[in-house]
Amino acid sequence: MEPRMRFRMLGGALVVAIACLTPLPALAAEEAQKPPAMSPEEKAMMEKWSAFAAPGEEHKVLARREGSWTMHVTMWMAPGAPPQVSDGTSEARMILGGRYLEDTTKSTFNGMPFEGRGLTGFDNARKKFVFTWIDNMATGIMTGEGTYNPKTKTYTSVAKSTDPMTGKTKTVRGTDTTIDDDTWKSAMYDKTPDGKEFKTMEIVYKRKK
């Protein structure tokens, strides 16, 4: 074989070899970037976490409270005491991808400005509604949990906060009942020293038109 022909053949083979080898570093880098395959245990954990994080039907129930509301507040400091009446407003919106309902309340209490913040969600793992409440009349955080009855359209909860008179944890019961798409009522109940329950607060919410 002539030297010139042999050179051409070797050159062609070299070009083919280079063409085949060139993508290998890029392929290796791409493979290195891929996450390792999950074990069955890891897949099960991921599925549980995904279910825990996903908004569901209960979050749609919360979303019905989105909007601007007027509030008519009636409070009783003790059983049989004359009621204290005031009016206020509530601005509610779903946040963090429809997972929590954020409420901003403004009203008055004993003639003083009152402002509060509420956060309500549904814990998919515990299968319960959960909430927190803070306001400018305290330095503690009220926390609670509850369930919803779709037949009565009533949310029943139990909340805990610190009693400033005793420094101990105090438990109160609450109910939120939907009257219609534009009206709902909230009530809170406390107990007297002898254990008898009485209503301490009632709020009627009306959607602003």
Cα 77 → chain centroid: 31
**To the nearest whole percent, how much of the chain has pLDDT over 70?**
85
- Can you give the pLDDT at residue 71? 98
- Can you give the pLDDT at residue 112? 93
155: buried, middle or exposed (CB in 10 Å: 19+, 13-18, 0-12)?
buried
Distance separating the N- and C-terminal Cα atoms of the chain: 96
Minimal CA–CA distance to 200: which of 191, 189, 208?
Answer: 189
List the structure tokens of 93. 């919106």
Region of poorest pLDDT, from 45-49, 137-141, 172-176 = 45-49
Number of residues that make up the chain: 209
| Predicted confidence (pLDDT) at residue 6 exceeds the cutoff of 70 | no
Question: What is this structure's pTM?
Answer: 0.79
109: buried, middle or exposed (CB in 10 Å: 19+, 13-18, 0-12)?
middle
- Average pLDDT score over the chain: 87
> If pLDDT is split at 50, 70 and 90, which confidence band does 189 have?
very high
Of residues 177 and 3, which shows the higher confidence score? 177
> If pLDDT is split at 50, 70 and 90, which confidence band does 103 have?
very high
Question: Helix 23-33 crosses helix 3-21 at what angle (to 10 degrees)?
Answer: 10
Which residues are 147's β-sheet partners? 156
Of residues 120 and 165, which shows the higher confidence score? 120
**Residue 102 one-letter amino acid:** E
Strand pairing report for 154-162 and 142-149: antiparallel
